[in-house]
Amino acid sequence: MSWGRDFVNQVLMEIENNILKPLEDIESSVEGIIEGITEGLNVDKPRVIATINPINECDNSQDNGNCQAIVGKYFINESIILINYKVDMNTILHLLAHHINAIEIGRTKYAQIRRLEELRLPWELRPTEITAMYRAAQLTRALSPRAWRAMSEEIRPRIRDIEERLSSDKVLVNNLDRQVRYIIESRR
């Protein structure tokens, strides 16, 4: 039985080191980029959470156009930017633009506006999305060289690390799952 616990601990350690730690590194680097912008604008910075789960701005509608390029989502009331680990600068700035707009308009009002737009319009025609696209373009022009370096020297290498390790960690988890199933079946 000790072998089983050792294997579980190995799997958990692999996930911690190979996925969770690089995700935290991505979060930290993205927060650094965002902090450089929000300090200059004198607004609170949002919390950033990185995930390996698929995420984009497409809601549950038939949207399948440009919203898929935004590999993240802004949660207004929580002031959270959720990003997929394959994040790019456009996604970071687009979601930050939503955050800045929510602060300017007021979170409650912005949430109401966004919800009504989601019910009425496809993603490409929503005024809050058009405004976020425009503001993201403005933010891009104002980005410091440090932000671009963080993207290429900190974030992209972590993306590659996760890509390389993800498949090997899935093999470990699948192996553990097979062992558990075998034990359950053998006890019947």
Report domain extents, the chain. 2-186
Q: Which residue, among 16, 35, 32, 23, has the nearest Cα to 84 in the 3D structure? A: 23
Sign of CA dihedral 72, 76, 140, 66: positive
Dist CA 120 CA 178 (whole Å): 47
Longest pairwise C-alpha distance within the chain? 65
Give percent above pLDDT 90 in the chain. Answer: 68
pLDDT for 183: 66
Specify whether the CB–CB gap between 56 and 73 falls below 8 A: yes
- Averaged pLDDT for residues 114-119: 95
Say if CB 162 and CB 22 are below 8 A apart.
Answer: yes
Mean pLDDT of 143-150: 96
Tens digit of each residue's pLDDT (9 = 90 or more) over 159-172? 999 998 887 777 76
Identify the band that residue 117 occupies on the pLDDT scale cut at 50, 70 and 90: very high
The number of angstroms, rounded, from the C-alpha of 73 to the middle of its chain's C-alpha atoms is 7
Centre a 10 Å sphere on the Cβ of residue 61 and count the other Cβ atoms it contains.
Answer: 12
- By residue count, the chain amounts to 188
pTM attached to this predicted model: 0.86
pLDDT top residue among 4 and 144: 144
